[in-house]
Amino acid sequence: DTGVSQDPRHKITKRGQNVTFRCDPISEHNRLYWYRQTLGQGPEFLTYFQNEAQLEKSRLLSDRFSAERPKGSFSTLEIQRTEQGDSAMYLCASSLGHNNEQFFGPGTRLTVL
């Protein structure tokens, strides 16, 4: 069990560029979550997958955000036409089916200049 991994750990981009983040959950965890955390705040839910199905999306997830989990394993989160307000830590978590104990990855810190 190597834990949840995220790549990259840091991303600096210019406003208007597209960025993509990857999350590898704990193997055999069927649920995968994306959260966003800004400075001084707790994580806020973005979206959630069970296997490859995206079951819930927050209203925070604007049309510029898209997430996929094509084979029910790793997931990607893409932000198109980034804005300075997108600067945040993007956290991924995974859990097993019988409880809601979510294990978090180290996060990807996005800075939009």
Partner 1 sequence: AQSVTQPDIHITVSEGASLELRCNYSYGATPYLFWYVQSPGQGLQLLLKYFSGDTLVQGIKGFEAEFKRSQSSFNLRKPSVHWSDAAEYFCAVGAGTASKLTFGTGTRLQVTL
Q: Which two tokens stand for residue 72?
A: 């029910």
Structure tokens given for 7: 């790549």
How many residues contact partner 1, by CB under 8 A? 28
Instruction: Rule CB under 8 A: say whether 56 interacts with partner 1.
Output: yes
Taking the least distance from each CB to partner 1, the nearer of 82 and 95 is: 95
72 binds partner 1 (CB under 8 A): no
Residue 65 touches partner 1, criterion: CB under 8 A: no
Work out whether 99 is an interface residue with partner 1 (CB under 8 A). yes
25 binds partner 1 (CB under 8 A): no
Quick one: tokens of 79? 């932000």
| In contact, 67 and 75? CB cutoff 8 Å | yes
Q: List the end-to-end C-alpha distance of the chain, in Å, as a whole number.
A: 36
Q: How many residues does the chain have?
A: 113
Cβ 60 to partner 1 shortest distance, Å? 11
